């Protein structure tokens, strides 16, 4: 029997260091078993407004914005707290989100290094000054923009909250974090861990859980929130950008993707096949960088097709807390029904591996692989957010690039070849914010990531990620 990671099975909001019960009480379910894990308070507009008020007061009244030493200390202590509670958080994610424990542990393992990286920037990032001509001095000051609204998706709630929190806190912003209802108990556990950080001033981090969008809309429209960081779908991101534009509010958006995995004939298929399998099935395909498009040079297509079908069919789908599980469930039964409608609508002659819903409790869906050549096909143009991939053929380098760039998305891509010159040429021609060569899903704290085209605005990680939460002020001083 699985031990519960939750000290309290009723999830509340954390506002100004006080636990709040605002909103209706609802149930949280395990998507692998359909069992009730506990309950949560579903935030209403008043909760969001209270969180914004708390963050705004903290920004105006505390020395958080000007105390670099404190910010560095807090980020370092949060890193230690995440590490100390990693097993509890991983189990919570596996139970409530469904993903295998190993995948939950992995995504949490990258949180502490990220926090420590931004702790370093909190202490070292600075502006500049110069004498432009006699009798004058010009200075550039980097200042926190103010209150940051952070809207987090359900697929990786803890690490994606930390991914925006770390640079926001390093910059000197105070924060309001809107967490997803699908992982309410995990959200509360993360808030508990953060609240236990001794050096963290009350009101600097405020967190609430919401199933709807009233609170999220308030973050976008409120004049007391000065920047919004959102991770999620392109459709919602476009609405956020439009609404924020009315106030000329700064937004950072990481949105949808259709990652092309481009396999040339000289690629090492013994390495490629397991990577493609992982790219399709990690987090059950509920990942913005899921390798949902397999582009294969025609001369090796039959060999790769056979091997990939065998590999995907062998993926062990099951409860995330079981040791042999390689892929967990989708987030809920509505997701299963949505993905099944997509696969069921495909011409059967194009289906290489049918996949589909698995009988019994839980929101399980086995992987599917579908051969497609028409670039206008919805399977290529739309983000599916499930373990479904297209299998597409190309004839040469130009054809591969043309196909890879033929969608409105541009978050990431992967190129597989032993020809170093070709890999560099192709990478430079692909319209995507991140391109991996003979690799997939490598994200580094020191290097920016983000989307081209409809996959986003702004950047995460690196100095660019910090800049999303800063204003730059020029001060000119005449000494004459």
Catalytic residue numbers, as ranges:
254, 288
Q: How many angstroms separate the CA atoms of 373 and 296, rounded?
A: 11
Where do we find the tokens 């609802």? 26
Cβ atoms of 140 and 168 closer than 8 Å: no
Q: Is there a contact between 77 and 197 (Cβ–Cβ < 8 Å)?
A: yes
Question: Which runs of E-coded beta strand occur in 351-469?
Answer: 351-353, 356-357, 365-366, 368-371, 388-394, 409-410, 412-416, 434-437, 452-453, 456-457
Helix (H) or strand (E) holding 280: helix 269-281
- ∠ at Cα 108 (468, 252), nearest 5°? 15
Can you point out the beta strands (E) in 259-303? 260-263, 293-297
Strands 351-353 and 368-371: antiparallel
Using only C-alpha atoms, what is the Rg of the chain?
A: 23
Residue 425, H or E segment = helix 420-429
């Amino acid at each position: 029997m699985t031990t519960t990671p939750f000290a309290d099975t009723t999830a509340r909001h954390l506002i100004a260091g006080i636990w709040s019960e605002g909103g209706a009480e609802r149930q949280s379910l395990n998507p692998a078993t359909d069992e009730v894990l506990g309950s949560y308070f579903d935030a209403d507009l008043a909760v969001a407004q209270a969180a914004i008020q708390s963050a705004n007061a903290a920004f105006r009244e505390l020395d958080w914005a000007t105390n670099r030493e404190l910010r560095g200390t807090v980020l370092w202590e949060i890193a230690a707290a995440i590490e100390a509670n990693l097993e509890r958080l991983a189990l919570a994610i596996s139970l409530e989100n469904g993903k295998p424990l190993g995948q939950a542990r992995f995504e949490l393992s990258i949180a502490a290094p990220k926090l420590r990286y931004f702790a370093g920037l909190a202490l070292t990032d600075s502006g500049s000054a110069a004498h432009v001509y006699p009798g004058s001095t010009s200075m550039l000051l980097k200042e926190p923009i103010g209150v940051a609204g952070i809207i987090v998706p359900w697929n990786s709630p803890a690490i994606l909250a930390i991914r925006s929190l770390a640079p926001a806190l390093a910059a000197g912003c105070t924060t309001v974090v809107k967490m997803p209802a699908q992982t309410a108990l995990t959200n509360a556990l993360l808030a508990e861990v953060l609240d236990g950080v001794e050096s963290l001033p009350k009101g600097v981090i405020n967190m609430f859980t919401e199933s709807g969008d009233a609170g999220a809309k308030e973050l976008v429209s409120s004049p007391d929130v000065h920047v919004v960081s959102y991770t999620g779908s392109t459709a919602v991101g476009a609405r956020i950008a439009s609404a924020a534009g009315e106030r000329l509010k700064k937004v950072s958006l990481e949105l949808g993707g259709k990652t092309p995995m481009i396999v040339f004939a000289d690629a090492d298929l013994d390495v490629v096949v397991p990577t493609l399998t992982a790219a399709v099935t990690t987090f059950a395909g509920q990942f913005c960088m899921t390798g949902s498009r397999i582009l294969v040079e025609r001369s090796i297509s039959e060999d790769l097709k056979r091997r990939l079908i065998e590999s995907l069919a062998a993926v062990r789908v099951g409860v995330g807390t079981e040791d042999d599980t390689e892929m967990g469930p989708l987030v809920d039964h509505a997701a299963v029904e949505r993905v099944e409608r997509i696969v069921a609508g495909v011409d059967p002659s194009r289906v290489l591996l049918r996949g589909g819903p698995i009988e019994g409790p839980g929101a399980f869906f086995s992987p599917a692989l579908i051969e497609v050549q028409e670039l206008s096909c919805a399977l290529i143009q739309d983000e599916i957010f499930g373990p479904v991939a297209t299998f597409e053929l190309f004839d040469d380098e130009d054809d591969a690039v043309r196909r890879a760039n033929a969608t409105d998305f541009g978050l990431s891509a992967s190129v597989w070849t032993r020809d170093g010159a070709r890999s560099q040429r192709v990478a430079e021609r692909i319209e995507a914010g991140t391109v991996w060569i003979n690799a997939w899903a490598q994200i580094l704290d020191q290097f920016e990531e983000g989307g081209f085209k409809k996959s986003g605005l702004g950047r995460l990680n690196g100095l660019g990620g910090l800049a999303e939460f800063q204003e730059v002020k020029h001060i000119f001083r005449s000494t004459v």
